Amino acid sequence: MAGIRDIEVVVFDVLGTLVDEPSGLRAAIREVVPASDDAFVEELFTLWQRHREVEERRIGQGRRAYANTAAIDAEAAALVAGRAGLADPAAVARLATAGRRLPPWSDSVACLERLARRFPVLGLSNAGRTALLHLNAHAGLRWHQAMSAEAVGAYKPAPEVYQLAIDTAGCPPDRVLMVAAHAWDLRGAQARGMRTAYVRRPVGDPPTSADAFDRRFDGLDELAVALTEG
């Protein structure tokens, strides 16, 4: 268990790490535009993702006031609806809440339950408070506490988001382990002194040769074994 031997609290990213956000969004798009072929669904999905990335970046750069994911997803849903010619307000409204209905990866629920028997386990997500509440219920994610970046009016990798987790953990940052499938997320946590564990996911952001995370795992089963049996 080299690199994570003295961890007291485990913090998980949610979107992409514990739930499969891309497949959930694609499913929501297919639901409201059922006649679309795969290529068009992918075009609409890309439009959604690009809008979110751009707007979160603008917020991080101070070029837009903070807006939570509910607001940004509503904007993205409107863009998708316009591109798809979708005029049903109820369908657009349901699409806007797609982020509440994302499927968990197959190892997510069991890993959380296993680790929660030994450690305080926290969620730390860019998802807004209400979206995170419903997502946790839908995906069956069980936490000791789930925190939204909305609490500090910022998005990861802003340092104040990781500080929120550190303050909540109530122990030195080098005893808090951040687990994520996104190297950019772990770099932000590392910059605040947190320990880091990368978990490979098909939709994640893999580390580069320059990244020096404490551990890397192919799945959450490996992580759970390392933390509970080492």
pLDDT at 3: 63
Please tell me whether the peptide bond between 157 and the residue prior to it is cis, using omega within 30 degrees of 0.
yes
Average confidence score pLDDT of the chain: 96
CA angle 7, 222, 202 (to 5 degrees): 110
Report the top-level CATH class of 21-99: mainly alpha
**CA dist., res. 177 & res. 197, Å (int):** 7
pTM for this entry:
0.95
Report the top-level CATH class of 9-20+102-229: alpha beta
DSSP 64: S
9-20+102-229 matches 21-99 in fold:
no
The domain spans of the chain are: 9-20+102-229, 21-99
pLDDT tens-digit series, residues 56-112? 999 999 999 999 999 999 999 999 999 999 999 999 999 999 999 999 999 999 999
pLDDT tens-digit series, residues 24-61? 999 999 999 998 899 999 999 999 999 999 999 999 99
Question: Long-range CB contacts (< 8 A, 24+ apart) of 159-167?
Answer: 159/188, 159/191, 159/192, 161/124, 161/126, 161/188, 162/124, 162/188, 162/189, 162/191, 162/192, 162/194, 163/192, 164/124, 165/11, 165/122, 165/124, 165/194, 166/192, 166/193, 166/194
pLDDT tens-digit series, residues 137-175? 999 999 999 999 999 999 999 999 999 999 999 999 999
